Amino acid sequence: MRPVICTVDTVLLALRGDELVVALFKREHEPYKSVAALPGGYIHPAEDLDAYAAAHRVLRDKTGIEVPFLEQLATFSGPARDPRGWSIAIAYYALLPYELLAQAQKPAMTLINADRIHTLPFDHKLIIDTAVARLRNKSQYSTLPCYLAGDTFTLPQLQRIYETLMREPLNKVSFRKKMAEMNALEPVEDQMDTGGAHRPAQLYRLKAQFRGNLQMLRRGL
Amino acid sequence: MRPVICTVDTVLLALRGDELVVALFKREHEPYKSVAALPGGYIHPAEDLDAYAAAHRVLRDKTGIEVPFLEQLATFSGPARDPRGWSIAIAYYALLPYELLAQAQKPAMTLINADRIHTLPFDHKLIIDTAVARLRNKSQYSTLPCYLAGDTFTLPQLQRIYETLMREPLNKVSFRKKMAEMNALEPVEDQMDTGGAHRPAQLYRLKAQFRGNLQMLRRGL
DNA sequence: TTAATAGTGTCTGTTAGACAGTATGGG
DNA sequence: CCCATACTGTCTAACAGACACTATTAA
């Protein structure tokens, strides 16, 4: 009886303008060698404390980045998803600011629109679709989209991020009330947005206690 | 290099009166032989189409029941959770009406209050706590609690189930508006609740298209 | 008729959101 | 001063929930 193949796969997401992109990497090994696919790899029992640590390791190795947000998505399994045999992929999704992803550009990496995925090896299309659905869903009632902004950001910038994810315009007054209600942001003292010929906006950052975590709204946006 | 141990564990939940109970089974094998724990077992690659099918098989074997609702919860992993070595448990949670669970009573099965879990083998306390938190959370905005009622039920019965899960009284008018908004229930023709000396209630059932699925509310209860 | 619970209409306080006003920078 | 965008106060409409009223059964 052949053992079950145990892997982790990660969906690394960022916002490039108003486009949600996912990072694919040219595969170094068979199967599907040199085809673009989600970054993933075998679990290393000798090295990994758990699957979360394995996902972190995979992303660190492929991108050199310590991602600010990484969460388990779901586990995909079965005999057909991997030609090597019956396999398990514990899938994670990670969010990061586009600037961070762009400056760590690796030759094997390509960014593609996460809403227009066509054919990919394994069941990676299904995994990406699941991750995007989860991100869009959680955006309705949590601080999740903050991880797609930089370390500091203005409320108008953040609102544009939410609007892009939710694909609908949001009311400015309500949006600010909801952000205040979550109580997860703090103003950055004496700092303002660089910008054009107009009033600068207050800069904010996630409070330290919420970095890596999420804060939920009782009622969504 | 020893292979990763691949298992599924299932959290079988039911409402006994106003008490949420989880089914534990006396273990047949080492480790923790004859200790009560979550029903689970190895994935059988030759037999299981995927981990979901394995969870269904485990529950069928232990209880003889085809559970009406089964959903993946999360995957737990690491070197310490199982004394046999580095392991993965793909955890599922299942809901069913208490009557169904009670009539399939097996000698190895015990039902314990899901809110008062103390020590259990492996990380089964963590898995149960995660399942209960998920159930309570999804109860706020979905049809999930319907699977704890029988095939047919009245709205007052269903409201009591929601109230038990959410641990707060609900407004009758609002509750009914929300149930209507989800549009997932249909009245059962010409049938009324058996009961006492009072007006009988209309019986409802989940529409066929929603059995095994969930319907979500845009804004919670 | 009474008791008991099912189901519904009405009113009220809260909240979401439209709108328009003020604030504050550069040109 | 003008323009553009940030922020905020006000008003209105929608919604949630309290309350009470009607409906329907058994005894």
In CATH, what number is assigned to the domain containing residue A40?
3.90.79.10
Asked if residue B136 is part of any domain, the answer here is no
Run of H or E residues at A70: strand A69-78
pLDDT tens-place string over residues B84-120? 999 999 999 999 999 999 998 899 999 999 999 999 9
Residues A13, A113, single domain; the answer is yes
Indicate whether A6 pLDDT > 90: yes
Distance between CA atoms of B54 and A56, rounded to whole angstroms?
28
> Which residues in window 164-193 of B are less than 7 A from strand D by Cβ?
170-174, 177-178, 192
A155 touches strand D (CB under 7 A): yes
Whether chain A has a CB inside 8 Å of the CB on B214: the answer is: no
Using the 3D structure, point to which of A122, A157, A184 is the last residue of a domain.
Answer: A122
Asked if residue A139 is part of any domain, the answer here is no
Nearest to B92 by CA among B127, B50, B63: B127
- DSSP class of residue A53 equals H
Q: Which residues of chain B lie closer than 8 angstroms to A6, CB-CB?
A: 3-4, 6, 88
Residues A186, A94, single domain; the answer is no
Question: Across the strands, what pairs with A70?
Answer: A94
Residues A104, A159, single domain; the answer is no
pLDDT category of residue B40 using cuts at 50, 70 and 90: very high
In the prediction, which pLDDT does B55 show?
98
Among A102-116, A125-139, A162-176, B188-202, where is mean pLDDT lowest? B188-202
Asked if residue B219 is part of any domain, the answer here is no
Between A and B, how many CB-CB pairs are < 8 A?
66
Residues B148, B71, single domain; the answer is no
Indicate whether A209 pLDDT > 80: yes
Backbone angles phi, psi at A120, to 5 degrees: -140, 160
B132 touches strand C (CB under 7 A): no
Q: List strand residue ranges (DSSP E) for chain B, in order.
A: 5-16, 19-26, 36-37, 40-42, 69-78, 87-95, 109-113, 152-154, 185-192, 202-206
* Residue B192 belongs to domain spanning: 144-214
pLDDT category of residue B137 using cuts at 50, 70 and 90: very high
Mean confidence (pLDDT) of chain A: 95
Higher pLDDT, A43 or A106: A43
Whether chain B has a CB inside 8 Å of the CB on A133: the answer is: no
Decide if A90 and B72 are in contact by the 8 Å CB cutoff: no
Interface of A with B in 15-74 (CB under 8 A): 43, 45-46, 49-51, 72, 74
Measure in Å the smallest separation between the Cα of A194 and chain B Cα atoms: 37
Asked if residue A38 is part of any domain, the answer here is yes
Indicate whether B14 pLDDT > 80: yes
Decide if B219 and A220 are in contact by the 8 Å CB cutoff: yes
Indicate whether B156 pLDDT > 80: yes
Cβ pair A94, A13 in contact under 8 A: yes
Whether chain A has a CB inside 8 Å of the CB on B168: the answer is: no
**What's the average model confidence in pLDDT over B190-204?**
83
Question: Which CATH number belongs to the domain containing residue B168 in this structure?
Answer: 1.10.10.10
Residues B19, B53, single domain; the answer is yes
Distance between CA atoms of B201 and B156, rounded to whole angstroms?
8
User: Distances in Å between the alpha carbon of B78 and those of A6, A46, A76, A78, B75?
Assistant: 12, 10, 18, 21, 10
Q: Reduced to 3 DSSP states, what percent helix, strand and coil does chain A have, rounded to the nearest 5?
A: 30, 30, 40
Number of H helices, E strands in chain A: 5, 10
Asked if residue B127 is part of any domain, the answer here is no
Distance between CA atoms of B95 and B97, rounded to whole angstroms?
7
The alpha-helical segments, DSSP class H, found in B64-120 are: 98-103
Residues A90, A151, single domain; the answer is no
pTM: 0.96
Measure in Å the smallest separation between the Cα of B220 and chain A Cα atoms: 7
Asked if residue A130 is part of any domain, the answer here is no
**What's the average model confidence in pLDDT over B110-131?**
97
Nearest to B127 by CA among B46, B22, B3: B22
Residues B18, B100, single domain; the answer is yes
Instruction: Kindly state the percentage of chain B with pLDDT values over 70.
Output: 99
In the prediction, which pLDDT does B195 show?
72
In the prediction, which pLDDT does B206 show?
97
Asked if residue B40 is part of any domain, the answer here is yes
In the prediction, which pLDDT does B176 show?
97
**What's the average model confidence in pLDDT over B23-43?**
97
Residue/partner pairs of B116-124 with CB below 8 Å, 24 or more apart: B117/B22, B120/B24, B120/B36, B120/B37, B120/B38, B121/B27, B121/B31, B121/B32, B121/B35, B121/B37, B122/B9, B122/B32, B122/B37, B122/B38, B122/B81, B122/B82, B122/B89, B123/B76, B123/B81, B123/B89, B124/B9, B124/B37, B124/B38
Indicate whether A1 pLDDT > 70: no
Decide if A90 and B88 are in contact by the 8 Å CB cutoff: yes
Nucleotides on chain C within 7 angstroms of protein Cβ:
3-10, 15-20, 23-27
Nucleotides on chain D within 7 angstroms of protein Cβ:
3-10, 15-20, 23-27
Asked if residue A132 is part of any domain, the answer here is no
Decide if B74 and A78 are in contact by the 8 Å CB cutoff: no
Distance between CA atoms of A16 and B161, rounded to whole angstroms?
45
Whether chain A has a CB inside 8 Å of the CB on B161: the answer is: no
User: Distances in Å between the alpha carbon of A49 and those of A15, A52, A93, B73, B162?
Assistant: 30, 8, 18, 20, 38
Cβ pair A8, A55 in contact under 8 A: yes
Torsion (CA) B73, B78, B83, B85 in degrees, nearest 10: 120
In the prediction, which pLDDT does B1 show?
67
pLDDT tens-place string over residues A29-42? 999 999 999 999 99
Looking at the structure of chain B, the number of domains it has is 2
In the prediction, which pLDDT does B123 show?
98
A170 touches strand D (CB under 7 A): no
Indicate whether A182 pLDDT > 90: yes
In the prediction, which pLDDT does B47 show?
97
Label the pairing between strands A185-192 and A152-154.
unpaired
Distance between CA atoms of A181 and A218, rounded to whole angstroms?
9
Decide if A6 and B4 are in contact by the 8 Å CB cutoff: yes
Distance between CA atoms of B53 and B35, rounded to whole angstroms?
25
Measure in Å the smallest separation between the Cα of A68 and chain B Cα atoms: 21
Q: Looking at chain B, how many residues does it have?
A: 221
Residues B96, B14, single domain; the answer is yes
Residues A91, A18, single domain; the answer is yes
Nearest to B111 by CA among B19, B9, B10: B19
**What's the average model confidence in pLDDT over B204-219?**
94
Residues A50, A105, single domain; the answer is yes
Residues A116, A22, single domain; the answer is yes
In the prediction, which pLDDT does B209 show?
97
Indicate whether A193 pLDDT > 90: no
Using the 3D structure, point to which of A122, A156, A183 is the last residue of a domain.
Answer: A122
Residues A65, A118, single domain; the answer is yes
